[in-house]
């Protein structure tokens, strides 16, 4: 399943520098607003050490990791919801993504201008929130005009549900709250809410872009962000984008690890960000392992075996018979599928089996 995250923030907070680290695509990282006019899209592999360990045992012809698309969206400014600074186009780009990576400037540097003249990540966050909320209000108002009469005079249950959901969202947005703060109980309501594609309903991760000295523990600006978002259902990640950019330029894995160790980090910001994005979107990974390929597959936590089979091909889900399942730890312990079978550790599961992160799956199907 294709996962797409959009990097947003005010101009000059480090979005394109972070994008460059993530994708190795060289978005223009310049010290002025709107250097990224068209959204840059980079496809990056999801770091998973389990994939390499499986490959060491299976010796496949190829290794296929899962990927994430990162979209570098040009800097938003005050008035973006009304079209300021090419805002309408940028907001449309955000609408197409699964999650928002909101980059906040949490470093002092006189050489990098700030669009509002001073460093204040909480103010910056509120500017972006406000613009996205205004755009969502426009969307809500337009939809209410379409369904209100039908909901109040007709017998259309879906129209009534949609109208009630729109009203709840409108009340929250008018109070300065994002759509993601509104919760719905039933699956029907959740489905209708999802199909509105509101900007502020998307999961958000706040990426605090700090200087190298603050890469491990953060700083006063990061503390301000933590306090401001403590009641939000959001992830916070500390990344020194400039340092990560320097690390990404190094040729060998050993050199990169040495640099990280000198800074005091165990793994790169890129790896931490992608893992956090998976957590944010409630995603997990299962594997298929054979001599042709060892491959990672992304699925939503809680999915059952037929749904996960459908990630490979829709025919696998339609004609699902059973799944043969090996736990990752068992595969590593015994060293091969044959040895796992001999030890009696291969499970045969039906349609109700809830796939677990790290499962090694072999699907039996008939179409």
The verdict on whether residue 327 carries a ligand-binding annotation is: no
User: In sequence order, what DSSP letters do the residues of 289-312 get, joined into one string?
Assistant: E-SSEEEEEEEETT-BHHHHHHHH
- Cα 37 from Cα 29, distance rounded (Å): 12
Largest CA distance in the chain: 69
Compute, in degrees rounded to 10, the torsion defined by CA atoms 355, 98, 129, 42: 120
Contact 354, 323 (CB under 8 A): no
The verdict on whether residue 348 carries a ligand-binding annotation is: no
CB count within 10 Å of CB 207 equals: 28
The verdict on whether residue 162 carries a ligand-binding annotation is: no
- Closest C-alpha among 345, 283, 280, 327 to residue 308: 283
The verdict on whether residue 14 carries a ligand-binding annotation is: yes
Q: Retrieve residue 247's tokens.
A: 């690390």
**How distant, in Å, are the alpha carbons of 21, 46, 248, 254, 256 from that of 251?**
14, 19, 8, 9, 8
The verdict on whether residue 319 carries a ligand-binding annotation is: no
- Cα 33 from Cα 77, distance rounded (Å): 9
User: In this structure, what are the phi and psi dihedrals at residue 40, rounded to the nearest 5 degrees?
Assistant: -85, 140
Contact 353, 325 (CB under 8 A): yes
Which residues neighbour 268 within 8 Å (Cβ) at sequence distance 6 or greater? 244, 247, 256, 260
Q: Which residues face 300 on adjacent strands?
A: 283
The verdict on whether residue 15 carries a ligand-binding annotation is: yes
Beta-sheet strands, E only, within 97-245: 99-105, 204-209, 235-239
Residues annotated within a binding site: 12-17
Residues annotated within a binding site for ATP: 12-17
């Amino acid at each position: 399943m294709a996962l797409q995250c959009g990097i947003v923030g005010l101009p000059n907070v480090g979005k394109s520098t972070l994008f460059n680290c993530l994708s190795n695509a060289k978005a223009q990282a310049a010290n002025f607003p709107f250097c990224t006019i068209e959204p840059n899209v980079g496809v990056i592999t999801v770091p998973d050490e389990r994939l390499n360990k499986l490959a060491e045992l299976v010796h496949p012809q190829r290794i296929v990791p899962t990927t994430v698309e990162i979209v570098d969206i040009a800097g938003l400014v005050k008035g973006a919801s009304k079209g300021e600074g090419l805002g309408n186009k940028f907001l449309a780009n955000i609408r197409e993504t699964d999650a928002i990576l909101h980059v906040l400037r949490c470093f002092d540097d006189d050489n990098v201008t700030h669009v509002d003249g001073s460093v204040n990540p909480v103010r910056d966050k509120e500017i972006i929130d406000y613009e996205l909320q205004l755009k969502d209000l426009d969307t809500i108002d337009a939809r209410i005009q379409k369904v209100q009469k039908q909901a109040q005079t007709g017998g259309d249950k879906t129209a009534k549900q949609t109208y009630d959901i729109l009203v709840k969202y409108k009340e929250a947005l008018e109070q300065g709250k994002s759509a993601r703060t509104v919760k719905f109980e039933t699956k029907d309501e959740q489905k209708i809410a999802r199909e509105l594609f509101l900007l502020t309903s998307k999961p958000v991760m706040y990426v605090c872009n700090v200087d190298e000295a603050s890469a491990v523990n953060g700083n006063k600006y990061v503390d301000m962000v933590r306090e401001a978002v403590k009641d939000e259902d959001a992830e916070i990640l500390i990344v020194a984008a400039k340092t990560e950019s320097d690390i990404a330029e190094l040729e060998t894995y050993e050199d990169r690890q040495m640099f990280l160790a000198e800074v005091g980090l165990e793994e790169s910001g890129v790896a931490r960000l992608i893992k956090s994005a998976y957590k944010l979107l409630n995603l997990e990974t299962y594997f298929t392992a054979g001599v042709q390929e060892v491959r990672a597959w992304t699925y939503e936590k809680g999915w059952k075996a037929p749904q996960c089979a459908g990630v490979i091909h829709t025919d696998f889900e339609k004609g699902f018979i059973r799944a043969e399942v090996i736990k990752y730890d068992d595969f590593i312990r015994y060293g091969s599928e044959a040895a796992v079978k001999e030890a009696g550790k291969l499970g045969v599961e039906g349609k109700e089996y809830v796939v677990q992160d790290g499962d090694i799956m072999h699907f039996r199907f008939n179409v």
